[in-house]
Chain A
């Protein structure tokens, strides 16, 4: 038994080493080299002493937070209602479907929709408000990002709600709880793990969205993702790019830790 499971693990371990551990080590290694090629802490010093980078960091965190919050507020009720419907798997499929479309294609589609001659401005003109600048605004950036992330939030919450034993809801009602009390005391605490997973899968990628900040946000918001891209592709300062990468990775680890499942021991209150 033991031998077999170790054997089947080999491809996975190879994959892990080649595509997860090696890149991480390379990034960490790169981050200690200045653009001149010396090995030092210089990149980290620059990062933590430069107002620009810190502002970018805050920006990234703030926008990731807003995007995550918006996604959560939309996704939780959606997942809940979806679970009540008769053909819930079908509805779920329809919500997941857009994730199969390439991100770039979706971004361009939104450029079309939000542009001066796009569908929304046509409509605004039609109802008499007149055309507005929609593209390249922070709002449109947040909206599109939320739109793209929503399926990743809905899925874990949907599963958590689907796993909920309906008897528990009956029990709560039986003991006198109103709908709201049942939600806050039973349903939400029991689906919290789904919410946490959703937050992880949305917040972390949202920290480094660079394509959307450029295509939809018009680079008004510079996030860490944009900075990395610029360092690697434009200024060729791989060391600095890697440093920001390391910071992002550490931030992700922190998020995972904060939202991660902690074993609840008996008697902790």
Chain B
């Protein structure tokens, strides 16, 4: 990549016998917004800590602009962090917390004043400069933590669940602010969250993690549309996942029926998992549907109805529909071949990419 700013090469982290990170490889391009997404304890904070220099990698190299920084002390890295536990200095007020980094850089007082008030304005805390930290709510503290980091305008900003304590409205507002700030200043963001909606909304690239591994990396659309395995499909958005069989290229069988699909490159009759997103399923009449299901429950979710149903083979299907249905009624569900996504068991991201390249290449040749 042209503008690689950060590179992890085979980075591992072990605490005694427990392995927190297993061979992490990734590259971050300058000026992009990256998100680490994964369940609690999967190693997100550990990656940030290694990158910021608070802990050493047990193996592997970390490079910053092509230079190995494994042994560079934290205070010499052009990286700032928004801590998961905020880590605000309790003996300093809001102003002095935010100004901390600038004072160390010997910035002049007037510049500090201006930058601090700009940062506080951005996190919607103008007028709180003279408050003590223990006089702030959790969400306000979290925003001070954001202000304290962004005020330094680092090349890379690490944000460890920086919006977790905010209410929905403020959270959305801060998402927009952060994204705009990131684009305006061209800072590389590495953002940690376990909220998949937030990840999809903000990121250029998402890393989905589980158990100390990066399972899949890609744009929000790619990860949403083409999850490589059950875990990713389930973690990102809601999914209907059923067992199936790849009869041949572009032919997949599930619920004892054969459907046309866009996936290929697998062994004939290979067992697979099939993903159908609830919003891709349309409710129709029984004779027009690809599948026939019985409605079990129906939940109003504001803009849509969430309809739970089951087919004759016992699979559960979640359907998002703008139209209401009736519990107990038999309905048809309709989907297009492009809506079907086929996942192989135990396929790694590299294998997935290779297969995709191969059969898309074949398709191109045919044209």
Q: Which residues of A line the B interface, CB within 8 A?
A: 165, 167-168, 170-178, 181, 185-186, 189-190, 264-267, 269
- Enumerate chain B residues within 8 angstroms of A186, measured Cβ to Cβ: 89
B87 within 8 A of A: yes
CA distance A269 to B85 in the complex (A): 26
B53 within 8 A of A: yes
A-B contacts, CB under 8 A, total: 70
Point out the residue from B75, B88, B132, B148 that lies within 8 Å of A173, measured CB to CB.
B75
Known: A165-B87, A171-B148. 7 other contacts (CB 8 A): A170-B81, A171-B87, A173-B54, A176-B104, A190-B90, A266-B132, A266-B135
Question: Contact: B87 with A176, CB < 8 Å?
Answer: no
A-B pairs with lowest CB-CB distance, top 5: A175-B101, A167-B87, A171-B87, A173-B74, A267-B130
Within 8 A of A (CB), among B139-188: 148-149, 152
Question: Contact: A266 with B93, CB < 8 Å?
Answer: yes
Q: Which residues of B line the A interface, CB within 8 A?
A: 49, 52-54, 73-75, 79-81, 83, 85, 87-91, 93, 100-101, 104-105, 130-132, 135, 148-149, 152
Which applies to chain B's interface (DSSP): helix, strand, loop or mixed? mixed
Point out the residue from A167, A168, A173, A267 that lies within 8 Å of B93, measured CB to CB.
A267
Point out the residue from B52, B75, B83, B90 that lies within 8 Å of A177, measured CB to CB.
B75
Query: 10 A-B Cβ contacts within 8 A?
Result: A167-B87, A168-B89, A171-B83, A171-B87, A174-B75, A174-B79, A174-B80, A175-B148, A185-B100, A190-B90
CA distance A264 to B90 in the complex (A): 11
Nearest CB on B from A83, distance (A): 17
CA distance A190 to B87 in the complex (A): 13
Question: Contact: A174 with B104, CB < 8 Å?
Answer: no
Nearest CB on A from B53, distance (A): 7
Which applies to chain A's interface (DSSP): helix, strand, loop or mixed? helix
- Enumerate chain B residues within 8 angstroms of A175, measured Cβ to Cβ: 75, 80, 100-101, 104, 148, 152
Question: Contact: A170 with B87, CB < 8 Å?
Answer: yes
CA distance A190 to B133 in the complex (A): 14
- Enumerate chain B residues within 8 angstroms of A165, measured Cβ to Cβ: 85, 87
- Enumerate chain B residues within 8 angstroms of A181, measured Cβ to Cβ: 104
Point out the residue from B79, B91, B104 that lies within 8 Å of A190, measured CB to CB.
B91
Residue picked from B53, B83, B152, most chain A C-beta under 10 Å: B83
